[in-house]
Amino acid sequence: MLYLDSSALVKLYVRETHSADVMALARKSPQWLCHQVGYVEVRAALAAAERLERITAQARSQAVARFIKDWRNISQVQFDEALLERAAELAEGFGLRGYDSVHLAAADRLRDAVGERLVFACFDERLNRAAKLIGISLPEFASR
């Protein structure tokens, strides 16, 4: 099972460093997971990529269409009171940004449910360190 935070998920739609790594990992994973906030974050990242002229308007449009189609098949973790509290604890304890802590809390909940079968794909060093400290598995490329 593969949890993709938005920094990993966007690499499936925009060619960046480690895009090939994420694609290979995603192909091998029978199930993709993400918190609902990832939808907004990926759409915002795609729009930013166009604004910064890293991709064309046509490429963004195509990427958005592929992402929307894929999103229907991604198992989505939803907000609830317990998740919000856990995210706040993780943000305070590890000095994480708000939505990063939401992704980590979601992955932590899933890891509790499925154990070591969960891999957390992310490209934020602080978030990866926190995930590792609470016992969540990271892909090989996270340590490069």
Q: What is the pLDDT of residues 104-138, one digit of tens each?
A: 999 999 998 887 789 999 999 999 999 999 999 99
Q: pLDDT value at position 67?
A: 98
Gyration radius (Cα) of the chain, Å: 15
CA dist 101 to 23, 50, 117, 144, Å?
24, 27, 21, 22
Q: What is the pTM of this model?
A: 0.93
pLDDT at 114: 86
**Element (H or E) spanning 120, and its range?**
strand 119-121
Q: What angle do CA 70, 27, 34 make, to 5 degrees?
A: 45
Q: What is the pLDDT of residue 46?
A: 98
Of the pLDDT bands very low, low, confident and very high (cuts 50, 70, 90), residue 29 is: very high
Q: In this structure, are strands 75-77 and 119-121 parallel, antiparallel, or unpaired?
A: unpaired
pLDDT for residue 115: 76
pLDDT over 90 at 14, yes or no: yes
Residue 117: its pLDDT value, please? 87
The pLDDT value recorded for residue 144 is: 55
118 Cβ partners below 8 Å, 6+ apart? 1, 2, 3, 33, 107, 110, 111, 136, 137
Report the chain's mean pLDDT, rounded to a whole number.
95
CATH number of the domain located at residue range(s) 2-143 in this protein: 3.40.50.1010
Domain residue ranges in the chain: 2-143
pLDDT over threshold 80, residue 65: yes
Q: What confidence score (pLDDT) does residue 143 get?
A: 64
- The pLDDT of residue 38 is 97
